[in-house]
């Protein structure tokens, strides 16, 4: 599903315009992103939890040359599905 399809479903489900649905979706995504940038986790009960994890520095390989390269440590977003979402997908 694309963002446009999600906006369309949100608009139909909530009985609002597509523009209002897109504004609401963007606000939600921006709030999640901003919380993760500050290192805070976001929990949506029944859906899942977004969090930030640390990834250690490691060695990788350039696929074109086979040369070993160093990959810096960093922070990466994680998502852990909630029980309700897991059961819905089974």
Number of Cβ within 10 Å of residue 7's Cβ equals 19
Q: Which residues contact 61 (CB under 8 A, 6 or more apart)?
A: 67, 68, 69
52-85 pLDDT tens trace:
999 999 999 999 999 999 999 999 999 999 999 9
Predicted local distance difference test score (pLDDT) of residue 24: 97
**Structure token pair of residue 27:** 């606000």
Residue 43: per-residue pLDDT: 97
Largest CA distance in the chain: 56
What is the count of structural domains for the chain?
1
Residue range 41-49: mean pLDDT, rounded: 97
Please tell me the predicted confidence (pLDDT) of residue 68. 96
Mean pLDDT estimate for the chain: 96
Supply the DSSP symbol for 24.
Answer: H
Question: What is the CATH number for 54?
Answer: 4.10.520.10
**Residue range 3-30: average pLDDT?**
97
Which structural domain, as residue segments, surrounds residue 68?
3-89
Supply the pTM of this predicted model: 0.81
Between CA 36 and CA 45 the distance in angstroms is 17
């Amino acid at each position: 599903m694309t963002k446009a399809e999600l906006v369309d479903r949100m608009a139909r489900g909530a009985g609002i315009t597509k523009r209002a649905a897109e504004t609401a979706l963007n606000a939600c995504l921006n709030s999640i992103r901003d919380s993760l940038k500050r290192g805070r986790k976001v929990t949506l009960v029944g859906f899942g939890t977004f969090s930030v994890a640390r990834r250690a520095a490691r060695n990788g390989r350039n696929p074109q040359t086979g040369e070993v390269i160093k990959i810096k440590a960093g922070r990466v977003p994680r998502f852990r599905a909630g029980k309700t979402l897991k059961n819905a997908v089974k």
